[in-house]
Structure 1
Amino acid sequence: MSKPDIDHHIFFDGETLPTNRADVIEHLDAKIEVPSNMSKPETIEAWYAEKRPGVLKEAVAKTSFDGGFGRIASIAFAVGNGPVVSATSARPAVGDVPAAYDIEKERKLLGRFFAACNRVRNHIGKPPTLVGHNIVAFDVRWLWKRSIVLGVEVPEWWPVEAKPWQKEAVFDTMTVWEGVGGRISQDRLALALGLPTKSDFDGLMVADAWERGEFERIRTYNGDDVETVRSIWKRIVGWREPAVASETVAEAPVETKEERDAAVDAAVKTSQNGAGFKPGLRPGFRPAVRAESSAHATTGAAA
């Protein structure tokens, strides 16, 4: 059985935020009802004062799971074995104005992600396979919904109606591992496969971290998730790194200290401008379609 062409795959993940729309929050607030077992006026008054704010906060938090109301905090993706790129919907700080969510940044983020996906499609001559964890039930449709709300054009081939078993369109690592209807967290699956797992941060912490202005932490976490899901995919399908042809290397002459120092300086400069560190995002959110490096090079917010 032949192994799939990794260059035909887009590995991606998104982090989401609750709504910030006043009309939606007002609607949710109006829907809150006093528990049916309460009848005394003083009990109801106490519930309104003590419990209602928490109930509303929870209702608002749940909108992050619905693409019709939630917002994108960040998107991270990688084409084939290329570098991971990631960006947030936060505009940069300007003078005394701190960095914060920007709906226009979110629109650009979506548009540039879809543009990158379309470039892959045009390059390979067919829709790429989307790879992620729980993306059939969540990410694919969530992004489709949010794009419609924001007026962002969705690629005509975007597999919003894909079934879990249609792995040419969508390779959902959760469904492939557990079967249709089964559930397992990406972290637990990574643990089962002996891959690196998350530390002290997870998706449920994103909204609070966003409120604290920890945009870079969210972006990095998002990128790490894509690296993990790509590693999971490789293990499941049995993909191996291409063998590198060996070469006969002549014995190098003994270097002086000055020559060694110069070589180290050159290597550092090369690494800082390439894979291995975290370079800034190139304008237009444009990862290479056929990247030579497989290093994790998550990047900053899109311009």
Structure 2
Amino acid sequence: MNVQTQLDPVKECYRNQRFVYFDIETIPCQDEDYRAELARKVTPPGNIKKAESIDAWLAENRDRATDEAMSKTSFDGGRGHVCTIAWAKNDSGIEVRHAKTLADERNVIADFFADLDPYHSETLVGHNITGFDLSFLKKRAICLGIKMPSPSSFPRDPKPWDKSVLDTMSAWAGGTNRISMDNLCSILGIPGKAGFDGSMVAEAWAKGDHDTIAEYCKDDIYRTREIHKRFIMAGY
């Protein structure tokens, strides 16, 4: 079977259906008042009882524990922030919006929503979007007062089996099982992440390395689309 024949199922699918491949990158909460609140909540292990031992433990461990708690807010749409969104429709070029400041976040999300709004027969495709991306965006929209697109183009509480979404992680691993995009790319022979991954986004953003984050998010759309094409060619 030649390459052209292999691609025919994809072309046919794209003729009949519109897919929106998308991915977001997030950073932790940037509010120093919230950091101070988390610092106040740090407590030593229960086996440390003496006041001087508690003080010594806090002096040594409070900052590290607070940093760890703050870093976890990059997974919390109520506290963290969207710094980048990349998306593409079928075989179109990839759009990227990136926030260099917190003030930019609103426009990044609004631009993505605006591009979805006119369409009501799209299927959103991404890796772990039902478990993370869609929920994070919904929460940021509520926090920032951004009007979300209609539920037909942006489901509010999607499940992996919803027709309006195709979650490549759930589609491959099934149920509550997980597989990283990089691992799935390796299995399918698709070039994976090249020395930069999501765990590095927060530090890169803090250093002002915005182009690296934007390019990384853009590359994830390429990977997502290639994964989905494998599914289409297999008749998924």
TM > 0.5:
yes
Q: Distance in 2 between matches of 1:136 and 1:148?
A: 18
After superposition, the C-alpha distances for 1:236-289 in whole angstroms (9 at most, x for unaligned) are 11189xxxxxxxxxxxxxxxxxxxxxxxxxxxxxxxxxxxxxxxxxxxxxxxxx
Q: Report the AA paired with residue 166 of structure 2.
A: F
Residue 40 of structure 1: how far off its partner (Å): 2.5
Residue number in structure 2 paired with 1:136: 130
Residue number in structure 1 paired with 2:6: none
Q: Distance in 1 between matches of 2:102 and 2:67?
A: 22
- Mapping for residues 1-303 of structure 1, pairs under 5 Å: 4-5=13-14, 8-90=18-100, 101-103=101-103, 105-119=104-118, 121=119, 126-157=120-151, 158-166=154-162, 168-238=163-233
Query: 2:117 touches 2:150 (CA, 8 Å); kept in 1?
Result: no
Q: Distance in 2 between matches of 1:174 and 1:75?
A: 19
In terms of fraction of residues, the more helix-rich structure is: 2
Q: Distance in 2 between matches of 1:41 and 1:147?
A: 45
Structure of greater Rg:
1
Q: Report the AA paired with residue 51 of structure 2.
A: P
Q: Distance in 2 between matches of 1:78 and 1:216?
A: 19
TM-score (norm. length: structure 2): 0.89
Identity across the alignment (%): 39
SS of 2:43 mapped into structure 1: coil
After superposition, the C-alpha distances for 1:102-153 in whole angstroms (9 at most, x for unaligned) are 32x111111110001113x0xxxx2410000000010011100001101111
Q: Unpaired runs of 5+ in structure 1? A: 91-100, 241-303
SS of 1:136 mapped into structure 2: helix
Query: 2:39 touches 2:63 (CA, 8 Å); kept in 1?
Result: no
RMSD (Å), alpha carbons:
1.8
SS of 1:4 mapped into structure 2: helix
Q: Distance in 2 between matches of 1:51 and 1:215?
A: 31
SS of 1:130 mapped into structure 2: strand
Residue 49 of structure 1: how far off its partner (Å): 1.3
TM-score (norm. length: structure 1): 0.70
